[in-house]
Structure 1
């Protein structure tokens, strides 16, 4: 009997028995701002084989349980998680819901499965300039790039690209290294 896998695009808060196969395209620890040495959460952006993305959170009390099971760039089967509305500022995906891991959530590596596609979604410049974009999403206008560069560090050749992003007149340069250069240049 084949496993029933749900589309990320269909996820809503109607149940907690979803089973998805997704690639972790971004993974980061959110630091605690209360002075604790423990992270506040482990955050992820997940993408399915059709390119649909959803944000997932593992709260502080469960980071220890899942942190060593999940790596950026790998494909997993995930099931038995909570789903809530994706609200607030600084949302990473357009999905109306987000995933919250629970103690009984299950994560399994899918060793012989690959998911390809573009991990980033950029708004058209005309939409940013001529429409009022929803600023609760992480948006900015890419205004410059150094292009892919190589440099030597500790005897190894590494890649780097620097991007200039403008958000409401504030310009920020962000440097990306190694595998992240490949993600951007693709």
Structure 2
């Protein structure tokens, strides 16, 4: 998708923005994104959205609007969001490394679309040597999966363990 890509909405043509373009200066954005994570947190629904450039942003939906949007927002689906707000991400524990967060309004629209030209899930594999060298400082969390060689050598099956570090 190029920045000049357009989509048809209610008889008019609107341009799409990328996540890096978003800022609090206006409330009426149009964004094509893949929903890579959805969860409930207290009286809010939270989402992680991914654009075709591979950038991620967190989105929040307040309690009264959850029932309106819940069925329209499914993990792994691709949607065009329109008429949402953007504010500072002041969460004490950020789940994505982005200064802003998307806020859904009553007037926010969600339109399912077909076609995706970006990365599927927003992660990339990083070699252990880069982590050891401290070259992953911009990552919030790194998860490393390792096979337990001793168990494999003893014939006890293939057990997969994970270790998590904040870098």
Alignment RMSD: 2.8
Instruction: Confirm or deny: 8 A CA contact 1:23 1:115 kept in the other structure.
Output: no
Matched with 2:30 is 19
Q: Note the C-alpha offset of 1:94.
A: 1.8
Q: What count of residue pairs does the alignment treat as equivalent?
A: 143
In structure 2, the CA distance between the partners of 1:166 and 1:109, relative to structure 1 (3 Å rule), is closer
Change (3 A) 1:123 1:67: same
Match of 1:6 among 14, 17, 24: 17
Match of 1:153 in 2: none
Gaps of 5+ in 1: 33-39, 147-160, 169-186
1:119 aligns with 122
Q: Does structure 2 retain, via aligned residues, the 8 Å contact 1:22–1:115? A: no
* Cα drift, residue 11 of structure 1: 0.3
Describe the shift of the 1:163–1:75 C-alpha distance in structure 2 as closer, same or farther (beyond 3 A): farther
TM-score, normalised with respect to structure 1 = 0.65
Consecutive unaligned residues of structure 2, counting only runs of 5 or more, are 1-11, 149-158
TM-score using structure 2 length: 0.71
SS in 1 for 2:96: coil
Tell me how far 1:89 sits from its aligned partner.
3.0
User: Residues 74 and 109 of structure 1 are in contact (CA less than 8 Å); yes or no, is this contact kept in structure 2?
Assistant: yes
SS of the residue aligned with 2:14? coil
Q: Compare CA radii of gyration and give the structure with the larger one.
A: 2
CA–CA distance in 1 between the matches of 2:117 and 2:92?
Answer: 28
Change (3 A) 1:29 1:144: same
Q: Could you tell me how far 1:123 is from its partner in structure 2?
A: 6.6
Q: Distance in 2 between matches of 1:76 and 1:42?
A: 17
Asked if 1:74 corresponds to 2:77, the answer is: yes
From 160, 163, 166, the counterpart of 2:164: 166
Structure 1 residues 9, 134: CA separation in 2 closer, same or farther (over 3 Å shift)?
closer
**Deviant stretches of 4+, over 6 Å:** none
